[in-house]
């Protein structure tokens, strides 16, 4: 397959200003795609975009329906959308009995409702074009349970469920919908998790990172580029028959 196997395709990536989103933007652009990075931080988006050829940015708060509509209308005007990576997300932890409605609603607003809205905005272009990829960045937490993150786990299980439902609905239309489910990735989100552990325990930052890394089968943090590489693979023509899957990274099941 040629290096630029995504030439002529337009990819939209939410949460594109850092971490997995930025790495994914670089990977898809390297494969020839036109890329639109979405997020709330304009300066951070500009910084990432400035280093990626054939890329644009669109300011978007994925928790706000009107903002999503505006951002996707702007992206569509540049070119019909053929790839959507729902990467924007947040995490928070608390014991179940201290998980209040606000935390639960915040998890679902950012991790689930945003993916619904963005997919509804992008899917018509894919249907009209007869080709599409929707890739949801979920989490290993969308495949199993863990202590103290019930709200986060509920939201990521919902994201995986949405992936499977839409995959069934679009099967046979040359559109695939998959979820990528990484363990702990070397991103700012993990750094915040470590800071939270340090603030609540007697662990040093180094020891807290080591404890987090133990959650991955390899005993080390996953590089954002590893997740981006999986996203890029799912966009290939020889991944046409991979649909409705939740692909774990960093876990052996």
pLDDT of residue 193: 76
Higher pLDDT, 4 or 253: 4
Give the neighbor-by-neighbor strand order of the sheet with 132-137.
Answer: 55-59, 34-39, 10-14, 83-86, 132-137, 175-182, 246-249
Residues above pLDDT 90, as percent of the chain: 79
Question: What's the predicted TM-score (pTM) here?
Answer: 0.93
> For 57-90, what is each residue's pLDDT tens digit?
999 999 999 999 999 999 999 999 999 999 999 9
Residue 2, pLDDT > 60, answer no
The mean per-residue pLDDT over the stretch 213-234 comes to 91
Give the span between the Cα atoms of 91 and 159, in whole angstroms. 14
Q: Which two structure tokens, joined as six digits, stand for 19?
A: 């971490």
The mean per-residue pLDDT over the stretch 121-150 comes to 96
Average pLDDT along the chain? 93
Residue 239 has φ and ψ, to the nearest 5°, of -110, 15
DSSP conformational letter for 221: P
Give the span between the Cα atoms of 102 and 42, in whole angstroms. 27
Residue 213, pLDDT > 80, answer no
Return all residues near 186 (Cβ < 8 A) that are at least 6 apart. 221, 222, 223, 224
Give the catalytic positions in this structure: 152
């Amino acid at each position: 397959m040629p290096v630029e196997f995504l030439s002529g395709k337009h990819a939209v990536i939410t949460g594109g200003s850092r971490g997995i989103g930025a790495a994914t933007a670089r990977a898809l652009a390297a494969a020839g795609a036109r890329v639109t990075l979405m997020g709330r931080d304009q300066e951070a988006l500009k910084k990432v975009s400035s280093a990626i050829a054939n890329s644009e940015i669109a300011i978007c708060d994925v928790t706000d329906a009107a903002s999503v509509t505006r951002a996707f209308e702007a992206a569509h005007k540049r070119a019909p959308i053929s790839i959507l990576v729902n990467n924007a997300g947040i995490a928070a932890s608390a014991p179940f009995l201290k998980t209040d409605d606000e935390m639960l609603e915040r998890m679902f607003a950012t991790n689930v409702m945003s993916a619904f809205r963005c997919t509804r905005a992008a899917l018509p272009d894919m249907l009209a074009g007869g080709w599409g990829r929707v890739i949801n960045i979920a989490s290993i937490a969308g495949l199993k349970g863990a202590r103290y993150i019930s709200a986060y786990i509920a939201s990521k299980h919902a994201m995986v469920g949405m992936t499977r439902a839409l995959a069934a609905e679009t099967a046979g239309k040359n559109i695939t919908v998959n979820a990528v489910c990484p363990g702990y990735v070397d991103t700012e989100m993990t750094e915040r998790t470590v800071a939270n552990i340090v603030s609540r325990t007697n662990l040093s930052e180094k020891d807290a990172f080591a404890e987090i890394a133990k959650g991955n089968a390899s005993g080390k943090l996953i590089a954002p580029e590893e997740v981006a590489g999986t996203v890029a693979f799912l966009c290939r023509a020889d991944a046409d028959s991979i649909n409705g899957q939740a692909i774990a990274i960093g876990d052996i099941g």
